Amino acid sequence: MKIVVLVKPVPDTYGDRVLNLETGLADRAASETVLDEITERALEAVIRHAEESAKSGAGDVEVIAMTMAPAESQSTLRKALAMGAASAVHVADERLAGADLVRTAEVLAAALRRAGADLIVAGNGSTDGSGGVMPSMLAELLELPAATRLETLEITADAVRGTRETDGGTMTVTAALPAVVSVTERMPDPRFPALKGIMGAKKKPLEVLTLDDLGAELEALGVELDETASARSIMVAATQRPAREAGEIITDDGTAGERIAAFLADRRLA
Ligand SMILES: Cc1cc2nc3c(=O)[nH]c(=O)nc-3n(C[C@H](O)[C@H](O)[C@H](O)COP(=O)(O)OP(=O)(O)OC[C@H]3O[C@@H](n4cnc5c(N)ncnc54)[C@H](O)[C@@H]3O)c2cc1C
């Protein structure tokens, strides 16, 4: 079985994240690039499944980490390989800078068609773009079932199953393979790659693809790109979030309750 995990390199949420106000894109040089946490957890869950399958003799599971991201973020794919992915696919083409959700879905769908996966595992939302719709868009383009926002993940030879929290309770969903699933941060903590894994990652296959390499698959999906492969959405304004102001510390001298109530009422929060 071949499982592709869609991993996304993002600016480290522990550092300062900067928006380029001219382009509206994240300034990736301003902070360290790391694997988005949910996709790292998704990868961990799938690697564990592959390890358990190998141990129990249930069959070979090949884990592929895939991303569409700037060329400079390749170290994150090496980390995915060091964690245990067998190979990686990096779609890196400068023409894709600023690609919106639709363009990203088209290009990833083309790369997924090329890879030919039994199961595609994504996060339910990224910490930078936060679109939260990529897995459903991919399922639509690839004409596959989508089981989204799963908090547990159970993979068998011909189906995938998991639970999803809703306002009213817990839902169990299942989809026949091939399928697309998205998982939440409830997936297991990612492992720290061991030295052996880090050394081994250097020898594992990491394929770099440009839009030209995906020409046939894009055509099969009915996607026509002009010379610029432009992003489709047009950014009309971008504003940096204002710096946080220091809060007021209220020491209780008997009037703290009233002052907090007044504070909330002033801001129409009460
Ligand atoms: C040169 C270049 C520059 C880019 N610059 C930016 C940028 O500045 N800001 C930005 O947010 N994005 C950038 N991207 C990536 C792309 O534009 C976004 O990934 C895309 O718009 C998806 O948005 P999202 O993260 O909101 O999707 P969501 O729907 O929130 O993502 C959900 C899940 O889909 C999967 N996924 C989403 N995007 C990718 C991806 N690219 N590769 C692999 N898996 C993915 C992950 O599993 C993720 O957890 C860049 C890409 C390239 C090639």
Using alpha carbons, select from 73, 109, 72, 67 the residue that is nearest to residue 90.
67
- For the record, the structure tokens of 36 come out as 């988005």
Ligand 1 atom 15 nearest Cα = 69
Does ligand 1 lie within 6 Å of residue 59's CB atom?
A: no
Q: Spell out the residues 6+ positions from residue 119 whose beta carbon is closer than 8 angstroms to its own.
A: 1, 2, 3, 4, 155, 160, 177, 178, 179, 180, 181
How far away, in angstroms, is 123 Cα from ligand 1 center?
11
The residues near 100 (Cβ < 8 Å, ≥ 6 apart) are 231, 232, 233
Query: Torsion angle, CA of 55/60/66/71, rounded to 10 degrees?
Result: 80
The span from the CA of 219 to the CA of 30, in Å, is 36
Cβ–ligand 1 distance for 11 under 6 Å, the answer no
By percentage, how much of the chain surpasses pLDDT 90? 72
Beta-ladder partners of 3: 63, 119
Residue whose CA is closest, atom 44 of ligand 1? 6
Cβ-Cβ contacts under 8 Å for 109 (sequence gap 6 or more): 137, 138, 141, 142, 217, 221
Q: From the CA of 250, how far away is ligand 1's center (Å)? A: 42
126 CB within 6 A, ligand 1: yes
Residue among 217, 215, 193, 187 at smallest CA distance from 77 = 193
By the 8 A CB rule, do 232 and 97 touch? no
Is 76's C-beta closer than 6 angstroms to any atom of ligand 1?
no
User: What was the pLDDT predicted at 79?
Assistant: 97
Kindly list the strands in the beta sheet with 159-166, ordered across the sheet, starting from the edge strand earlier in the chain.
Answer: 154-155, 159-166, 169-176
Please indicate whether residue 197, judged by its CB atom, sits closer than 6 Å to ligand 1: no
Residue 73 contacts by C-beta under 8 Å, 6 or more apart in sequence? 9, 28, 33, 67
Out of 19, 73, 89, 126, give the residue to mutate to test ligand 1, the one with the largest number of ligand atoms within 8 Å of its CB.
126
| pLDDT (0 to 100) of residue 32 | 87
Q: How confident is the model at residue 22, as a pLDDT?
A: 80
User: The dihedral of CA 205, 210, 213, 215: what is its sign?
Assistant: positive
In angstroms, what is the span from residue 214 Cα to ligand 1's centroid?
18
What is the per-residue pLDDT for 161? 98
Low-confidence ranges of the chain (pLDDT < 70): 229-230, 232
Instruction: Show the domains of the chain with their CATH numbers.
Output: 2-220 (3.40.50.620)
pLDDT at 74: 94
For ligand 1, is residue 97 a contact (CB within 6 Å)? Answer: yes
Q: So what's the pLDDT on residue 72?
A: 92
Q: 66 alpha carbon to ligand 1 midpoint, in Å?
A: 12
pLDDT digits (tens, 9 = 90+) for 161-184: 999 999 999 999 999 999 999 999
